[in-house]
Structure 1
Amino acid sequence: MTQTPAGGLTAAEVAERVRRGRVNDVPARSSRPVREIVRANVLTLFNGIMGTLFAIILVVGPIQDALFGFVVVANTLIGIVQELRAKRTLDSLAVVGEARPTVRRDGEPRAVPTSEIVLDDLIELGPGDKVVVDGRVVEADGLEIDESLLTGENDPVLKRPGDQVLSGSFVAAGGGAYQATRVGREAYAARLAEEATRFTLVNSELRNGIQRILRICLAVMVPAGVGLVVSQLVVFNRTDTFGAIRRAVAGIVVMVPEGLVLLTSVAFAIGVIRLGRRLCLVQELPAIEGLARVDVVCLDKTGTLTEGGMDVAELRPLGDTAPRLAGEVLGALGAADPRPNASLRAVIDAYPPPEGWRAADTLPFSSARKYAGAALTAPDGRESVWLLGAPDVLLPSAHPQLVDIERLNAAGLRVLLLAGSARPLDAAPDDVTPAALVILEQRLRPDAGDTLRYFAEQGVAAKVISGDNAVSVGAVAARLDLPGAGPGEAVDARDLTPEDLERATVFGRVTPRQKRELVGGLRAGGHTVAMTGDGVNDVLALKDADIGVSMGSGSAAARAVAQIVLLNNSFATLPSVVAEGRRVIGNIERVATLFLTKTVYSVVLAVVVIATAVPYPFLPRHLTLLSTLTIGVPAFFLALAPNTARAHAGFVPRVLRLSVPFGVIAGAATIGVYLLARAHYGAGAATREAETSAATLTLFLIALWVLGIIARPLTGWRIVLIAAMAAAFALVLLVPGLQHFFALRLAGLLLPWAAVAAAVAACALIELSYRHPWPTRRRPPRRAGSRPTRRYGRTRRRTPGSS
């Protein structure tokens, strides 16, 4: 393989490789393709059941009894349309947030989409850049590559010209360039990268809970459905075979929670669309749900609480260092770093490169080292080694200069120490001479204080985890009124103990490895943890947190591992994400209770019908009407309503705790009224409509009460919604044409009022059950598959997925 010239490929060479197909043709997808969306919404088990029953009714019954089929078709179309809208939103945001590596072509650096990289391209690297294709290093300036996302090893690997780099790793420090040797699907991490950025509808507690509910429904449907078909054929004894089939189909149809999956998908999709309007890219759909369950949010200070930029407030020479010399050295250090961080950029802005100074060797800044350096040659030819970094790292703990520095840190200022070193750059900084203090002012984000107050009001603990000096970080947090950020409360991570995890709020001097361990320790303690950050030092913690949130202006590596990317770089967007997650989870729990209540009372009806050998009380049209007015239409509005309650684990038990007693009471009252009506009216073919009407009235009133419970608190629009459903049912009972269409006509006064009385009694029992729900056993938080490892010299739990 020939080496690409330092100026990169020419336009002709790029075009020739494109013609040969030697291009990085693995597009990063943020959503499912249209074909998968259609298949996922159409080819479902319950759609198959409902479609079969629909076809049967088209053969044996009037069109009124086939209305449920049209409802299923409408539900499927709604699900497809909403998910396609979400796909368009995600795809457009993914383009905005896509990493654009810098390649050299025709001697000029240019940013190109990842998909346009070709074989042998010369790709530049800097701190935080993601290695997008496999390659071989051709230039290295203190280049350190973190391969932890591939190998699980935390320590960055120093790379020299000729060394291999793999896609999926990222630059921890330094810079350089590498030649692409494998592109497209040949690259090491191509498939992993594609999967990591794919929009998904699975792997969430909510969706897993929905699937569990559906399995429960299917388990009871099969035996109840078979028994119902047999019983109806026996009851009608060939006198009305088509009527028997229609009533058996009605009993099966009502057991199917046909709209539950639809509303879950629609709620998630609309959440994605709403967040997309706020320039929030959701790279994994369950992240919306996960952030709603978070009870601890870990914040990186720089770029999250403070803006990325800083300003030099003062240069304070130390000892006999001349201010001019200190300024020239700072300018030379800034000029020697091709990819400066935020602190060094502030220094560069204040001190331009001096004339005559040259850098013979450089040591790029590293989050683990906390300092950078260079071997400089002055205009007079004198050589010297200079370091710029954290004073408490470069100086011994008892050094007198640290006293003044602590006072500056306590004022919320960031302090860097410029020091001369008598040792080579690659030696430990244990023999330095302080030359000057560089005092930087940090710019607070104007929306950070309001966001922190929001989390405090919502019961979410905020913990600031930063690599900066603990006192300085604490002062910044105190300016934002963060609880636990007072004087003396910040914790230096070099003296961290496991007990500090729960007690402390502000952590300083945290290394990237410690950030990861802090997140892991909180998760092992039963917390659901979100981590926000934008730098290379945040990547490991972002990866291991339950939810990783990156700023759009952050490093490519941070954006790649985060589930949520704030493209507008606004920390204030997080409350919107939390609100969307809470809306989705809380509202799906509401509608799941409605749907499962229907399944429970349908099973009760089927069991009693089989045991008593009577005709099933309803035709499909009756249950379609009831489901539409008490579940379908209301659930659609409830699923999209605001909901601010924090989500908790135990979705399925909570739904069952309400829906089972609700359904049993509703089913018992309905079948009781139906059997009473059969005894009252004579149980003949001519009285079947009156018997069904009495049972329908009873079930509607009870289901409406259940709807009222689920919709609480009853705000104005919810009262209007319930009243509209009641009015629609009253219209069916009063308008002759609708009476005929739905085969509903109340006969006499005694039974209708008996039905109302039975419904009132059932509603009272349901209300009692709601106010005094079944007790549930509480279990301590536990993470399956965990095993003990060591942290801070103590035993901790290691969570699955951590490297």
Structure 2
Amino acid sequence: MIQAIHNVVPGRARYRVEKLYRCKELKEHLEFHLSQQLGIISTSANILTGNILVLFELNLSTDRVKELVAEIEQNYSPKIAVNHQKLNSNLQQKSDDWYALDIDTVLAELQTSDTGLTQVVAHKNLQKYGTNTLPETATRSELRILLEQFQSLPVGLLCIAAGLSVATGGLADAAVIMGVVGINAAIGYITESQSEKIIHSLKSRDRPLTSVLRDRQIVEINTAEIVPGDILVLKAGNYVAADARLIATENLSIDESALTGESLPVSKSTASLIAADISLGDRINMAYKGTLVLGGQGLGVVVATGKFTEIGKIQAMISQTPVQTTPLARQLDEVGSQLVMLASGVCTLVFAAGWLRGYGLLQMLKTSISLAVAAVPEGLPTIATTILALGIQDMRKHKVLVRSLNAVEALGAVQKICLDKTGTITKNQMSVVEIHTDTKLSLVDGDLNIIADACTLKLIQVAVLCNESVVTRDCHGEYVVTGSATENALVYMAIAAGIDVLALREQYPLVDTKPRAENRNYMRMLRRGSLDALSSVSTQHQHQQHFAVKGSPGEVLDLCHWRLNDGARVPLTAAERLAIALENDRMAGKALRVLGVAYGYESTELVWLGLIGMADPVRHGVKNLIGQFHQAGIDTVMITGDQTPTAYAIGKELQLSRNDQIQILDAQDLVNVDREALQALCDKVDIFARISPVNKLQIVQALQAVGKVVAMTGDGINDAPALKSANVGVAMGTGTDAAREVADIILEDNNLATMIVAVSQGRTIYNNIRKAVHFLLATNLSEIIVMAIATAGGFGQPLNALQLLWLNLVTDIFPALALALEPAEPDVLQTPPRSPDESIIKASDFQRILFESTILSGSTLAAYAYGVTRYGIGLRASTIAFMSLTLGQLLHALSCRTERSIIENIPANQYLNLALAGSMTLQFVVLAPGLRDLLKLAPLDGWDLIVIAGSALFPLVVNESTKQFHGTQL
């Protein structure tokens, strides 16, 4: 049976379908087939109530719509019979357009009343719907952090090399290789686990108790036990515990910035909203879980709890959002893959050549494995891990917490930074920025002590007397101000002007308050005392009663017949009214929240004092930071829940666009845009306004789809999905737990300017890792060439397996690590970010690496040939080759410092000097009697040492002299 309940508005009607109750299949059947009917705009069925809401064109009658519903319902034949009485008692909550329903309908559908649920019904609902708790965001355990240290291809190659060494009896080789892997894992684990602990220490806790109506009484219950149908008691200073449809309000204002990104508080009402698809920020008859009541009071009937709230849906979106890998991680894996191919090819070639020349199968197998070990740069994972760990430690000194090792480097690769406005670009607190009195304009910078104008001072004092903020002093004598953001801003303005707020209010006690109402957008307070004496703050007690008024400039101005002129009252002319209206429009055009202020006697018209302009101020240094990002070739995009005029004004102030032509897009413009068009749009837009959490995620993913490396900043739960999806998520330290849990970087002191430091450090780290990788590949390739040519040519084996391993340890780790600690290049922030598709080692780099390796190998083979000629194939010749190659590789580290010649004036690198001195010392120590037997070395004479020195210096001279011809870029 289909029963018409009522017409909500023309073109919108609600029907009850008995079979629909708790039947998901019928719900889907009705919604799909009704939407296909001509004239039907949209449908929304509710399996909790059995109701279906139909939005239709006005040329259809409600009777015809009812007939369509009945016909489609009769055609429904479920494939599986459903026993409606035996469904799971933990019934899922269905979100509905509660804002579109009148209060009586909402209460009826939730089977409650404005006096609240009984304890018995509340207990049943708790069993049915579950607790009002959000699932915990998955965090990285200690074990997971440890295992992640082994999840890279270079580390995997080291493990394979160790396994091959064990298979051929090289236990010592395997032990040393796994020692390197262990050191690498320990450094990464300790650094990342420390960051995780600090981040978790910032986590806040929900308020455990919430006031509700139960059995007609106001009681405090555990927040987790709130259920649909409960009546929430909303008071200033409390967080909303669940999503609720408001049923009673009294000057209720709520800060929804954590959910919507809207910086201004939202004034709430109970009237039904008839428009379809109203955004969260415009649902003024709803209160949502996690938002803060700033002023007034109200009652709301709970319509959703736990994971079914708007915050719960966002948290579910977070869990479904994939995490992006960083450019460095991908590129190091690419280098590892290239090494596998190179090592496999060379080892196969050497094995085949040696076997064909008559060497034993086992001997050639060991030689090939030694070459494979030589091809893998044991120092690469340790170098990358250590330098990133040092970067994290350095950033921690700047109050920047970095969750993972690759996050700082990834920020250095960022091409687009998406900046959340509220709480990130701005402070998320209202401040007075302009005062207009008696045709005078005062720009406020936070210090009003210089103001001596009597009219301005009177305006400030009246704004404090017409104010609901509670003002007290703490034990240190400091003011403590509690109230809405707007009211608090006026009090802080007075404090900055040197006014004793408590003494002022005591001198002019409150008699009566007439708050704002739906048809009166201003507040009026009746005070006892002579307001004409305010400018001098007379100590004489006055018994007259006068009004202090503030609110909508237009409405307040209509009440005024006088103005002040040099402290004297004069009639307010029509021309002056027009001038005030134009000034109001000018201030509103700058996205300021403007209040008109007036005062007057109880029995006379009001005296106009002036206008106060307020805004959520931009954080200090952000404009300069935007300029630095642009200089570094990084595009900046602002994403906000604010209205378009407000967003545009801030974007213009910050000069967000690099070409001074700001492109702004409203969320409504994204509704019917397909994926390809969205990707094209996002890369050209500077500001996105009225944006929802889903929109933020779409914008970040659209930018990534066109190949951009994206950073996202934010502090609210509405930012969390985008923070997680971005290549680098940056959260404010005072932001929500959800934002911090998914971010890669947390700015503990909310100082956004630190990001440019991170960008600089990230770029420097990447450039230095490139230098280290270049050095490692050139030196390791030279070992392969030496072994391959000597073996294939029948000249024996210049180096044994243990010598190869020693080479990799002495010449790889310490010099390469020192290269990774090179000072920043002077122009690191004047160059555009690198392309994410660019390999860490480009094709031109490989050409240069091959040339350098050939010179190193040729010089070593020449020294080896000298040894073979003088001593024959054996330990003496092998020792000469070993010393020549080792020292040549160490000196090659100097050449890898810069693409310019090392004789030019470049900053000193003390780390490299120490590394080379230490490595060379170790190299000569192993020649000492008793130690040289470990590596199977022989003593050397003076001529041998001269040959070795010449062989080591020759590659450095050749490589340095040819840099200008190769034009390599390290």
State the TM-score, normalized to the length of structure 1.
0.66
Q: Following TM superposition, by how much is the alpha carbon of 1:584 offset from its aligned partner in structure 2, in angstroms?
A: 2.9
Does 2:860 correspond to 1:740? no
Could you tell me whether the CA contact under 8 Å between 2:622 and 2:654 is conserved in 1?
no
Determine helix, strand or coil for the equivalent of 2:594.
strand
Asked if residue 50 in structure 1 is aligned to residue 181 in structure 2, the reply is no
Provide the aligned length of Structure 1 versus Structure 2: 700
Aligned to 2:108: none
Matched, 1:209 2:331: yes
Task: Flag the 1:550–1:88 CA change in 2: closer, same or farther, 3 A.
Answer: closer
Alignment of 1:77-156 (within 5 A): 77-96=183-202, 98=203, 100-102=205-207, 104-105=209-210, 117=224, 120=227, 155-156=279-280
How far 1:207 sits from its partner (Å)? 0.8
Instruction: Name the amino acid aligned to 1:404.
Output: E
Aligned residue type for 1:310: S
Return closer, same or farther for 1:736/1:243 CA change in 2, 3 Å cut-off: farther
8 Å CA contact retained: 2:777, 2:849: no
SS in 2 for 1:565: strand
Structure 1 residue aligned with 2:613: 439
Of 400, 405, 422, 1:280 maps to 400
**Using the alignment, how far apart are the partners of 2:422 and 2:646 within structure 1?**
12
Could you say if the C-alpha distance between residues 774 and 302 of structure 1 is closer, same or farther in structure 2, counting changes exceeding 3 Å? same
| Residue in structure 2 matching 1:271, options 380, 391, 406 | 391
1:404 to 583, 587, 594: 583
Structure 1 residue matching 2:750: 3-state secondary structure: coil
Q: Post-superposition shift, 1:730?
A: 4.9
After TM superposition, the structure 1 stretch with the greater mean CA deviation from structure 2, 283-292 or 435-444, is: 435-444
Q: 1:254 to 1:537 in 2, by over 3 A?
A: closer
Task: Report the alpha carbon displacement of residue 215 of structure 1 after superposing the two structures with TM.
Answer: 0.8
Larger RCO: 1 or 2 (CA < 8 Å, sep 6+): 1
Larger gyration radius, structure 1 or structure 2: 2
In structure 1, the residue matched to 2:960 is 767
Q: Which amino acid aligns with 1:90?
A: E
Closer, same or farther in 2 for the Cα pair 1:339/1:327, shift >3 Å? closer
Amino acid at match of 1:255: A
Give deviations 1:52-78, integer Å, cap 9, x for gaps: 133145x3x6x7xx2463243243234
Counterpart AA for 1:355: D
Match 2:381 to one of 253, 261, 264: 261
**In structure 2, what is the Cα distance between the partners aligned to 1:67 and 1:187?**
53
**Does residue 292 of structure 1 match 2:479?**
no
Q: How does 1:576-615 map to 2 (within 5 A)?
A: 576-605=757-786, 607-609=788-790, 611-615=792-796
> Quick one: structure 1 residues 332 and 256, their matched pair in 2 at CA, closer, same or farther if it must change by over 3 Å?
same
Specify the alignment match of 1:796 in structure 2: none
Aligned mates of 2:134, 2:736 — CA distance in 1: 23
Q: Which residue of 1 aligns with 2:594?
A: 416
Q: Cα gap change, 1:30/1:493 in structure 2, threshold over 3 Å: closer, same or farther?
A: same
Aligned AA (1:290): A
Specify the alignment match of 1:225 in structure 2.
347
Corresponding position: 1:697 with 2:883: yes
Q: Provide the rounded CA distance (Å) in 2 between the counterparts of 1:402 and 1:564.
A: 46
What is the alpha-carbon distance in structure 1 between the residues aligned to residue 489 and residue 689 of structure 2? Answer: 22
- Contact 2:132/2:305 (8 A) holds in 1: no
Q: CA deviation at 1:34?
A: 1.5
Aligned 8 A contact 1:72 1:258 in 2 = no
The secondary structure found in structure 2 opposite 1:31 is: coil
Change (3 A) 1:661 1:641: closer
- Structure 2 CA distance for aligned equivalents of residues 376 and 68 of structure 1: 80
Return closer, same or farther for 1:214/1:3 CA change in 2, 3 Å cut-off: farther
- Choose which of 742, 750, 768 in structure 2 pairs with 1:569: 750
2:489 paired residue among 331, 337, 346: 346
Residue 588 of structure 1: CA displacement? 1.9
Distance 2:156 2:580 in 1: 72
Task: Please say if residues 593 and 656 of structure 1, whose CA atoms lie closer than 8 Å, have aligned partners that are also in contact.
Answer: no
**Contact 1:549/1:562 (CA < 8 Å) preserved in 2?**
yes
User: What is the CA–CA distance in structure 2 between the aligned matches of 1:595 and 1:184, rounded to whole Å?
Assistant: 54
User: Offset at 1:213?
Assistant: 0.7
1:3-51 CA-to-partner distances (Å, cap 9, x unmatched) read 79999999xx99x999x99685843345354255236428953243122
Q: Distance in 1 between matches of 2:244 and 2:395?
A: 40
Match of 2:512 among 345, 348, 355: 355
Q: Deviations over 1:187-213 (max 9, x none)?
A: 6565653576x9x7x611111000111
How much does 1:90 deviate? 1.9
Matched residue type, 1:288: V
1:704–1:194 Cα change, 3 Å: same
Residues 609 and 267 of structure 1: is their aligned pair in 2 closer, same or farther, counting only changes over 3 Å? same
Displacement after TM superposition at 1:538 (Å): 7.7
Q: Write out aligned runs for 1:235-634 (5 A).
A: 237-238=359-360, 244-282=364-402, 286-294=406-414, 303=423, 307=427, 308=429, 310-311=431-432, 314=435, 316=437, 331=467, 342-343=485-486, 345-347=488-490, 355-358=512-515, 361=518, 401=580, 403-404=582-583, 414=592, 416-418=594-596, 437-440=611-614, 473=650, 511-512=690-691, 530=711, 532=713, 534=715, 547-554=728-735, 563-605=744-786, 607-609=788-790, 611-634=792-815
Structure 2: distance between partners of 1:656 and 1:728: 35
CA distance in 2, matches of 1:145, 1:749: 78
Residues 271 and 25 of structure 1: CA distance in aligned 2, closer, same or farther (over 3 Å): farther
Query: 829, 841, 848: which one pairs with 1:661?
Result: 848
Between the aligned partners of 1:346 and 1:506, the Cα distance in structure 2 is 33
Change (3 A) 1:666 1:285: closer
Question: How far apart in 2 are the matches of 1:177 and 1:533?
Answer: 31
- 1:740 counterpart SS class: coil
Unaligned runs of 5+ in 1: 363-372, 392-397, 421-433, 777-803
Identity among equivalent pairs (%): 17
3-state SS in 1 of match to 2:328: helix
Describe how 1:725-736 pairs up with structure 2 within 5 A.
Answer: 725=918, 727-732=920-925, 734-736=927-929
Alpha-carbon contact 2:258-2:736 (below 8 Å) kept: no
**2:386 pairs with 1:193:** no
Q: What SS class does the counterpart of residue 737 from structure 1 fall into?
A: coil
Structure 2, unpaired ranges of 5+: 1-90, 92-110, 213-217, 262-276, 440-457, 472-480, 495-500, 527-548, 557-576, 599-607, 670-676, 899-905
Q: Determine helix, strand or coil for the equivalent of 1:355.
A: strand
Q: Is the 8 A contact 1:267 1:639 kept in 2?
A: yes
**How well do the aligned residues superpose, as a CA RMSD in angstroms?**
6.3
CA-CA distance at 1:182 after TM superposition: 4.6
Using the alignment, how far apart are the partners of 1:30 and 1:212 within structure 2?
Answer: 29
The equivalent of 1:687 in structure 2 is 873
